[in-house]
Amino acid sequence: MSRTDLIADVFTIIRNAIMIKRDAVDVPASSNIKEIMAILKKNEYIDNFKLVEDKKQGLVRVYLRYLSGKPAIRNIKRISRPGLRVYVNAKKIPSVLRGRGLAIISTSKGVITDKEAKEQGVGGEVIGYIW
């Protein structure tokens, strides 16, 4: 079975794991997934992540974060998808929940958050929203 949208699959795996209150979940690895997980860790949406080797493409074990029994990730949503890519320029970078959420943007300078993209003055493809 081939995957057409790995990032959407990872977001769904994380969303489902949060609904059943799992502590850790394994997702397929890719360079974009590693960069997204690094952003989530830096912004304290997950506790940690580590790479797990298997004989295929590898896995990323994500340790989910809970604050007094409630998940740190309230919702995680894919915006740009293979059938409809969403691009923004530097002047129209979205803010999620008036700055309380996080937009992940793939730019020419790598995968960064909406705040970093505004500071650097770059636009790109909107990967998803997290709040």
Q: What's the domain count of the chain?
A: 2
Residue 94 lies in a domain: yes
Residue 111 lies in a domain: yes
Query: What is the token pair recorded at 79?
Result: 């915006």
Q: Residue 38 — φ and ψ, nearest 5°?
A: -65, -40
Asked which of 23, 51, 71 is the last residue of a domain, the reply is 71
Q: Residue 11 — φ and ψ, nearest 5°?
A: -60, -40
Three-state SS string over 82-97 comes to: CCECCEECHHHCCCHH
Return the CATH number at 91: 3.30.1490.10
Neighbour count for residue 16 (Cβ, 10 Å): 11
Q: What is the pTM of this model?
A: 0.92
Same-domain status, 11 and 67: yes
- Output the pLDDT for position 121: 96
Residue 58 lies in a domain: yes
Digitized pLDDT (tens) for each residue of the chain, 131 residues in all:
457 899 999 999 999 999 999 999 999 999 999 999 999 999 999 999 999 998 888 999 999 999 999 999 999 999 999 999 999 999 999 999 998 999 999 999 999 999 999 999 999 999 999 99
Same-domain status, 56 and 88: no
- Output the pLDDT for position 60: 97
Residue 85 lies in a domain: yes
Q: Which domain holds residue 25?
A: 6-71
Q: How many residues does the chain have?
A: 131
Same-domain status, 32 and 82: no
Q: Which residues of 78-93 are buried (b: 16+ CB within 10 A; e: fewer)?
A: bbbeeeeeeebeeeeb
